[in-house]
Amino acid sequence: MADQSTRNRLILRKTVVLVGMMGAGKTAVGRTLAAHLGVPFRDSDHEIEQAANMSIAEIFARDGEPFFRRKESQVIERLLDGTPLVLSTGGGAFMSEGNRRMISDKGVSVWLDAELPVLWNRVRHKDSRPLLRTPDPYGTLKALHETRAPVYALADITVPSEAGRSLDEMARLVARRLYETRPDVLETVP
């Protein structure tokens, strides 16, 4: 990444869209990355919850997953059409070909790639994950991981989300990868 002693500023030219499994750290890393870059942070799930005035789990229960996915696409499109920011998406958002195309056209996708044991450690004690409300949540997580990983691999950039890395380290790693590989997204100005 740019040498801090040069006192150049990093300017975000396109929205950075964090994708990956639940528990990969998209929201936490996204907030930290946005703070480092001095840009807004948005979480698509939070935006949907605010608009509906209910939790994702309640939306799933009342209206079903297809309804939720339509709302998710609308929120992502609205945020991509605005000022560049860091956007955390729900784990299933990148599974939609339409969302992938929209993200590719208007932003840059970054897959936070976490191994299954790391994901399980992070999500197993949370009951805010409607897709894991099954008799075998680990088996469900494993099946989702196996299905989704090949699609997440289509992201523009992959960054390993490893246990033991701090949020600051993760945010700096994402920024470094953006700076090194996507000058159209993150550039320095004097």
Start-to-end C-alpha separation, the chain: 15
Asked if residue 23 belongs to a known ligand binding site, the reply is yes
The whole-angstrom separation of Cα 5 and Cα 138 is 46
Q: Residue 2: its pLDDT value, please?
A: 45
Give CA separation, 12 vs 6, 18, 69, 98, in Å. 18, 14, 27, 24
Q: Where are the domains of the chain?
A: 9-181
The whole-angstrom separation of Cα 159 and Cα 147 is 19
What are the CB-based long-range contacts (under 8 Å, 24+) for 46-51? Answer: 47/75, 47/79, 48/72, 48/75, 51/75
Asked if residue 163 belongs to a known ligand binding site, the reply is no
Q: Residue 5: its pLDDT value, please?
A: 42
- Residue 103 has which token pair? 């993200």
Asked if residue 2 belongs to a known ligand binding site, the reply is no
Asked if residue 69 belongs to a known ligand binding site, the reply is yes
Quick count: other Cβ atoms within 10 Å of Cβ 14?
18
Whole-model pTM? 0.89
pLDDT tens over the chain, length 190 residues: 544 444 568 899 999 999 999 889 999 999 999 999 999 999 999 999 998 899 888 898 899 989 999 999 999 999 999 999 999 999 999 999 999 999 999 999 999 999 999 988 888 766 656 556 666 788 988 999 999 999 999 999 999 998 889 999 999 999 999 999 999 998 888 7
Torsion angle in degrees (nearest 10) through CA of 170, 176, 179, 185: 0
Asked if residue 129 belongs to a known ligand binding site, the reply is yes
Q: Residue 137: its pLDDT value, please?
A: 81
CATH fold for domain 9-181: Rossmann fold (3.40.50)
